[in-house]
């Protein structure tokens, strides 16, 4: 089960708080041992860039979209 959690400063350490929904779903009790797999969240846009294949050149697509925006919303 993957859950996005923000880290928090606790003294000289960094800690996490497990959301209540996760605690209830997994029936976690105080003083139980759990295994936490940690991955730093990356930039989603960088991960997606280049993942899709287009029939047209992406730069041409951007120009077409800009022309359409200029005609409708930008003056």
Q: What is the DSSP string of 31-61?
A: T------------HHHHHTTTS--SS-HHHH
User: Is residue 51 one of the residues assigned to a domain?
Assistant: yes
Q: Could you give the CA distance from residue 22 to residue 1 in angstroms, rounded to a whole number?
A: 9
Which is more confident, 42 or 73?
42
Give the residue with greater pLDDT, 75 vs 57: 57
Q: Tell me if 38 is assigned to some domain.
A: yes
Give the total number of structural domains in the chain: 1
Q: Is residue 52 part of a domain?
A: yes
Say what the pLDDT of residue 7 is: 92
- Does residue 50 or residue 6 have the better pLDDT? 6
Q: What is the pLDDT of residue 10?
A: 92
User: Residue 14 domain-assigned?
Assistant: yes
Q: Among 48, 20, 15, 47, which residue's Cα sits nearest to residue 3?
A: 20
Residue 1 falls within a domain, yes or no?
no
Residue 61 lies in domain: 7-72
pLDDT in tens, 59-68: 888 888 888 8
- Residue 20: the pLDDT is 94
Please check whether residue 2 lies inside any domain of the structure. Answer: no
């Amino acid at each position: 089960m993957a859950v996005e959690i923000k880290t928090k400063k606790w003294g000289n350490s960094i800690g996490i708080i497990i959301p209540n929904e996760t605690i209830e779903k997994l029936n976690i009790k105080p003083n139980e041992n759990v295994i936490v797999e940690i991955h730093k969240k990356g930039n989603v846009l960088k991960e997606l860039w280049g993942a899709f294949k287009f029939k047209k050149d992406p730069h041409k697509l951007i120009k077409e979209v800009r022309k359409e925006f200029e005609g409708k919303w930008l003056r």
